[in-house]
Structure 1
Amino acid sequence: MVDYACRHAVDRERWGMFTTEEEIVMTVRGDHAVVIGAGVGGLLAARVLAESFARVTVLERDALPPEPVPRKCVPQGRHAHALLARGGHAFDTLFPGFTSQLIDRGAPSCDVGSGFQWVLSGHRFALSPSGVRAIGASRPLIEWQLRTRVCALPNVEIAEHTSAVDFAGDRAHRRVTGVATRRRAGRALGEVVEADLVVDASGRSSQTLPWLEAFGCARPAEDRMTIDLAYATRHFRRDPADFDGRLGLGVGATPDHPRAGVIIAQENGTWIVTVSGYAHDEPPVDADAFTAFAASLPAPEFGRFVAEAEPLDEPLRYRIPTTVRRRYAEVPLPEGYLPFADTICCFNPIYGQGMSVAGVEALALRDCLRDGVEALAPRFLNRIRRGLDDTWTMAADSDLQMPCVAGPRSTRTRLANAYTVRVHRAAVTDPRVGAQFLRVINLLDRPTSLLRPATAARVLRGNVWPRPVPEDTVRPSATPGVRRGERIAEG
């Protein structure tokens, strides 16, 4: 076994981090565990595995920066991310004080009902406390802080510039016993890192399915949706008076106007602005066209802000052609292998679910490991199934509202989407409906909570009683997006 080191030591005094190693309670279930990928999912898995394995090695092909800045292998990290309320709870459970440290690092925090304006299905939610808090931290800050906390664990090591290229093991008996690796420099091709357990957190671009087939495993069935989504992001200087002191604005897409956008206050006195569009409504990266696209959203203050605020960089675009859920629970997996986080399910990122679902999965893995490592994968996958069902279905239903998204629209999907629009309409005048919806999208309550008799009655009341419609819910004239194949100016 190669003795890897965590190669991104930080100036702890400068960043106000820990001066001692993290303390964890260990019940050793095995000698060595390997995690593929040092993204958010991989780091969360490493934290949990550190309680059950004498040593944990995280393999990462990228160079890991010593400060909270975007990195090459996480291009989506430059765009808006959300740590939902349930995800924040999971992070705090695994790393006590995690969200407080984000705030100490300058990440703003607010109640998502009173400190953040929502315009969904063209309806402007009433501003009122919801009891659900949000943190405006960038993806690089969240990942860097996770990495720093994981590196403080005495039995965890991170191997940078190290790619997993295959599984090693007993193929006749279908057992993974390690990972063949390739290092950028200083190591031979095919060096095997032996392990009692390999956790696959290689994510959206995972290449491990053919490796599993070599062990005689059938490919899991996939729920795959072609959403043809693109989004573009620009940062602006933040003034505390912007948006009357609120910390952001979220505007949802509608079937007749498949564009969305979010403005979120972040650390370092900045705003992050991400706009998105489906199919031909691709957001441009030319600065003037980006501003015009923002002005087409059904919240006039969104466009005004982008036109008037001081930009700090040029727009940058990222594309998500598909979302996919792999049904690993339905196929027998080799012993010693466990898929995790985005390797199992890649969500539409505009809903901000990925990091929080990974946090919930980490807590589930922790519970499963308390019962040992035998049959770990089926026990873990069964434990997270219902939560994944809910989260995947919420995102898929929302995407299927867009006529350009291909996929079966069952009676349940059509009814769910019709009811969601009525929830949004009722939230204009009924903060309690809005608060319950915010609890659902923050993964605190199941979607079925919106159908409870008391909530359903308020939704009905909010859709029957006449009320004035605020002027700001009227959609301005749309501007054309960038169509595929057109020549565009990249920022």
Structure 2
Amino acid sequence: MAHRRPPAVTPGGTAAATSSGTAAVIGAGIGGLLAASALSKMFRNVVVLERDTLPQTATTRRCVPQANHVHALLASGQAAMEDLLPGFVDELLDLGAIAGDALADIRWVVDGQRLARGASGIPGILASRSLIEWQMRQRIERLPNVRILDRSDVIGLRGDRKAVSGVNMQRQPIGSTELVPADFVVDSTGRSSRSVTWLGRLGFRPPPESQLAVDVSYATRHFLLDASALGGDSGIGMAPGPSNPRSGFMGRQEDGTWIVTLAGYGNDVPPLDADGFLEFTKSFPTPDMHDALAAAQALDEGVRYRIPTTIRRHYSADDLPPNYVPFADGICSFNPIYGQGMSVAAVEATILRDCLQSSTADLTRQFVRKANRCIDAAWNLTVDNDLRIPSVPGQRSLRVRLAGAYASRLDRAAAVDPAVGSAFLRVTHLLDRPRKLFRPTTVLRVLLADLTRTR
């Protein structure tokens, strides 16, 4: 696979082609690629700048170490990706991705409660992060007005408070600084986004931030399992809760192997050695994962990753030039055990496209307002659950305590009523807002389940 030829630039000067109608995306991860897809529908030229060396196959790359671990493509993310790139999900399936029903084909244990099985109608996809990104890059590279430049490190912005006129970029290995002119810029460089620093140089104040010191460590290994190990199920998910803060997921991958990621809060760091890794799974409320791994063949020594804090940057249009937007993890970096990152980025990309199609006037203000609604729903969902974990520091407001108490009842109800489990998964897949769990029909099912269990 050859990357598209970049637009000609002269060192320290201007692009050989006019910058009129050009959008620049910083970062060629999943968020950046989806943003490029959205922008390609309205701009004559889109250039994607990536500091990493992009691989020619579906492999993990240096700047995305988290790609070694389990990644979830939620139903909302699938729908958004399919909206932007029609046929994309079928392409993943053709490459070996596993499709199934999120409740019927995956065993879920939530805070010690095994969810009752049933058809939820929520589509699930299991595939490696590397495969998803690689196939997406194939699609984006085929767009005639999009160019991807790897080994291109953006080091700052050109412009002022009125507008950004382009980005300063250094080709790797480090050479002279080059200007890439642009009429619109998206920063999709992820959790390590330098937007706050860059915008500060243009005179903008830093946005307010919310942080939660989750201190989550997770460890991942790959295995070979007998085809009948899970009786045809494609995965096991152990979700954390106050009674057992440990979590894990085990799922089939496109190459026939199984990926297992284990996670713990604070000092509860999952071991990587074979005995310790297996022993960690023994502490889960049900023996499914432990029993499957006890008979599995390990394929690697495993890798570990740690997220000390989750971060929500509360950008407003007043914090940004009118033609510049931060994007995806640059706005909000979630606790990865909930698997929201790719899907929220995909939804943001559809919002960006819709804002562009409705009007280019006040584009940044429109995007920030609408993206914040999507992000806030996902952020509050995970923060509320993390604050149920005793080791996570933070203020437990009355709302959080009441939500936690109801969540415990909901988990117990989902163990006997698949309809409650389906409603719960629709929220975690970001198809419904959390308030849907408080609809009278769902509350009644929760109360009836409680009465049934106490008899």
TM-score by length of 2: 0.94
The question of whether the paired residues in 2 share the 8 Å contact of 1:260 and 1:277 is answered with yes
2:50 pairs with 57, 60, 69, which one? 60
SS in structure 2 at match of 1:373? coil
> Which amino acid in the other structure matches residue 295 of structure 2?
E
**Following the alignment from structure 2 to structure 1, what is the Cα–Cα distance between the partners of residues 448 and 5?**
59
**Residue of structure 1 equivalent to 2:119:** 129
CA distance in 1, matches of 2:390, 2:61: 35
Asked whether 1:285 is paired with 2:280, we answer no
SS of 2:59's equivalent in the other structure is coil
2:85 is the counterpart of 1:95: yes
Instruction: Tell me how far apart the structure 2 counterparts of residues 242 and 293 of structure 1 sit (CA, whole Å).
Output: 19
Q: Distance in 2 between matches of 1:371 and 1:429?
A: 46
Paired residue secondary structure (1:130): coil
Tell whether the 8 Å contact from 1:220 to 1:331 is kept in structure 2 after alignment: no
2:300 paired with 1:313: yes
Q: 1:74 to 1:237 in 2, by over 3 A?
A: same
- Consecutive unaligned residues of structure 2, counting only runs of 5 or more, are 7-18
RMSD of aligned C-alpha atoms? Answer: 1.7
Cα drift, residue 385 of structure 1: 2.0
Alignment of 1:396-407 (within 5 A): 396-407=383-394
After the TM superposition, which residues 30-45 of structure 1 pair with which residues of structure 2 at under 5 Å, given as runs?
A: 31-45=21-35
Partner of 1:485: none
Residue 149 in 1 paired to residue 139 in 2? yes
Counterpart CA distance in 2 for 1:80 and 1:5 is: 27
Q: Percent identity?
A: 48
CA contact (8 A) 1:114 1:129 kept: yes
Shift, 1:242, TM fit: 1.9
> CA 1:313/1:81 → structure 2, altered by over 3 Å: closer, same or farther?
same
What's the CA shift string for 1:75-98, capped at 9, x where partnerless?
000000000001001111111111
Please give the per-residue CA displacement for 1:370-402, whole angstroms capped at 9, x wherever unaligned: 133332111101112222111100000111111
Report the equivalent of 2:177: 190
Indicate if the aligned counterparts of 1:252 and 1:259 stay in contact, CA closer than 8 A: yes
Equivalent in the alignment of 1:81: 71
1:488 is matched with none
Q: State the Cα deviation string for residues 161-186 of structure 1 (Å, max 9, x = none).
A: 000001011x2x5321110011114x
State the Cα distance separating 1:422 from its structure 2 match: 0.9
Q: Is the 8 A contact 2:111 2:241 kept in 1?
A: yes
Map 1:38-437 → 2, pairs under 5 A: 38-169=28-159, 171=160, 173-185=161-173, 188-329=175-316, 331-437=318-424
Instruction: Give the secondary structure class of the aligned counterpart of 1:126.
Output: coil
**TM-score, normalised via structure 1 length:** 0.87
What letter corresponds to residue 82 of structure 2 in structure 1? Answer: D
In the aligned structure 2, how far is the partner of 1:256 from the partner of 1:115? 25
- Deviation of 1:5 after TM superposition, in Å, equals 5.2
The answer (yes or no) to whether the contact 1:174–1:216 under 8 Å persists in 2 is no
Query: Cα offset for 1:256?
Result: 4.1
State whether residues 225 and 295 of structure 2, in contact with CA within 8 Å, keep that contact through their aligned partners in structure 1: no
Runs of 4+ in 1 over 4 A off after TM superposition: none
CA distance in 1, matches of 2:3, 2:237: 42
**Per-residue CA distance 1:109-141 (angstroms, 9 max, x = gap):** 111111111100110011111111101111000
Partners of 1:44 and 1:362 within 8 A in 2:
yes
Residue in structure 1 matched with residue 446 of structure 2 by the alignment: 459
| Partner deviation per Cα, 1:436-486 (whole Å, 9 max, x = no partner) | 111111111111111100110001111111379xxxxxxxxxxxxxxxxxx
- In the aligned structure 2, how far is the partner of 1:30 from the partner of 1:148? 26
- Local SS of the residue matching 2:358: coil
- Report the Cα distance in structure 1 between the residues aligned to 2:268 and 2:85, rounded to whole angstroms: 40
SS at match of 1:435: helix
C-alpha deviations, 1:252-302, integer Å up to 9, x for none?
223243210101111010111000000011111122111111221112121
Which amino acid is the alignment partner of residue 355 of structure 2?
C
Contact 1:220 1:330 in 2 (8 A): no
Report the Cα distance in structure 1 between the residues aligned to 2:407 and 2:5, rounded to whole angstroms: 47
Query: Do 1:150 and 1:156's aligned partners in 2 also have CA atoms closer than 8 Å?
Result: yes
Whether the 8 Å contact between 2:317 and 2:364 is mirrored in structure 1 is no
Distance 1:136 1:7, change over 3 A: farther
Query: Residues 258 and 281 of structure 1 are in contact (CA less than 8 Å); yes or no, is this contact kept in structure 2?
Result: no
User: Any residues of structure 2 matched to 1:441-480 within 5 Å, and which?
Assistant: 441-466=428-453
Alpha-carbon deviations, 1:199-242, whole Å to 9, x = none? 01011011221110111111000011111000000111143312
Partners of 2:243 and 2:420 lie apart in 1 by: 25
Question: Deviations 1:274-333 (Å, cap 9, x if unpaired)?
Answer: 000000111111221111112211121211222221111112100000100101126431
